[in-house]
Amino acid sequence: MQLYNKIDKNVLKKKMQESSEERTTLSFYKYHQIKDPQAFRDHFFQLFNEIGVMGRVYVAKEGINGQVSVNTDLLEDFKKRMYSIDFLDQVRLNIAVDDDGKSFFKLIVKVRKKIVADGLDDDTFDASNGGTHLDAEGFNKLTEQEDTVVIDMRNHYETEVGHFKGALLPDADTFRDALPMAEEMIKGKEDSPVIMYCTGGIRCEKASAYFKHKGFKQVYQVEGGIIKYAQDVKEKGLENKYIGKNFVFDERLGERISDDIISRCHQCGTPCDTHTNCKNDACHLLFIQCDDCKKKYNNCCSQECSDIIQLPVDEQKKIRQGKDLGRQVFKKGRWKTPSEYRKSLNDKLDAM
């Protein structure tokens, strides 16, 4: 009984990149009390690994959160299997807006304490008592009201490449950080309409319940997040109030919602909104890089990392052996260039 992927990730990634198979990327979530997350996790992996589903799924006692890639020909089979799980029957499936079928290369299903790390004590409020859901038309209409506040509940690297016009943008590294920042930004607006949004809705589901608990009287959230909003305005011919890209947590790292480019290359400053992960396995810094800099630095964040990836593989392994700083994300507000950020990482590593 296979419960985990056992093939080397580089082999799987190469296979995915070379494949001509048509695939559909979608996301879903559901807050629901799961008594035995590990047993549910194993069942879920078996059920969807059988039909070649790829993606990243988190399971916790509070529910499930997933982003997956499905063979388009098996999409109906996928839905049938998904809806066969009682609490996931007819769960909303957000179909990706700008999809090349290269979003994931293997299936990972993990048990976590929470499906979204939020730092909240859920025992102090009803996490299921979220804000009123707004469809695209409702969102556009309410944002025309002068006292309406729109706030982005995503991280700084997400909002840097795209956001709704006029939205408040907390300069947060994580959702855990965004909550207190958002609370400070909308302080005094307890009686005004407050609309929250995120990628697919899961972060706002919890955040809106939290802010209702904090005394905000008119709390709304964008139904299905940016993904569903973008689909709806396109299908219904509505005004698109989202500018730029929607950052996504898969191999694509972004899907285009409008033609506006609102950010710049972190290395040379030219208009650009393409995120990349530094090719150096000891770094993997997430940053924005234009095509010219990608060529100049060999898909790396600095000349140093570019030099490292040209070394023999064994020497590269020795350099990164025993050194792990976790996921690193470049923040323009703190550093002038990724090279400067890389230097600060080296100082930390030398101190280990």
> Which residues face 28 on adjacent strands?
66
Give the full edge-to-edge strand order of the sheet including 94-95. 94-95, 23-31, 63-71, 54-60, 107-111
User: 149 near 189, Cβ under 8 Å?
Assistant: yes
pLDDT at residue 20 greater than cutoff 90: no
pLDDT at residue 111 greater than cutoff 90: yes
Q: According to the model, what pLDDT value does residue 235 have?
A: 95
Q: According to the model, what pLDDT value does residue 298 have?
A: 96
* pLDDT tens digits for range 218-261: 999 999 999 999 999 999 999 999 999 999 999 899 999 999 99
CATH code for the domain in which residue 93 is found: 3.30.70.100
Let me know whether 94 and 26 are in one domain. yes
Specify if 200 maps to a domain.
yes
Structural domain harbouring 50: 9-111
CATH code for the domain in which residue 142 is found: 3.40.250.10
The letter for the amino acid at 46 is Q
Asked which of 80, 111, 142 is the last residue of a domain, the reply is 111
Specify if 334 maps to a domain.
yes
Strands (DSSP E) found in 112-189: 132-134, 149-152, 162-164
> Which residues face 110 on adjacent strands?
58
Let me know whether 128 and 105 are in one domain. no
In sequence order, the 6+-apart residues with CB closer than 8 A to the CB of 163 are: 152, 169, 242, 243, 244, 262
DSSP string, 274-308: -EEE-S-TTT--EEE--HHHHHHTTT-SSHHHHHH
**Which helix or strand (DSSP H or E) is residue 343 part of?**
helix 338-350
Phi, psi of 272, deg, nearest 5: -165, 145
* pLDDT tens digits for range 173-216: 999 999 999 999 999 999 999 999 999 999 999 999 999 999 99
Specify if 303 maps to a domain.
yes
Let me know whether 106 and 132 are in one domain. no
Number of domains comprising the chain: 3
Let me know whether 147 and 101 are in one domain. no
Asked which of 183, 212, 236 is the last residue of a domain, the reply is 236
What are the residue numbers of the active site? 198
Q: According to the model, what pLDDT value does residue 8 have?
A: 78
The span from the CA of 201 to the CA of 282, in Å, is: 33
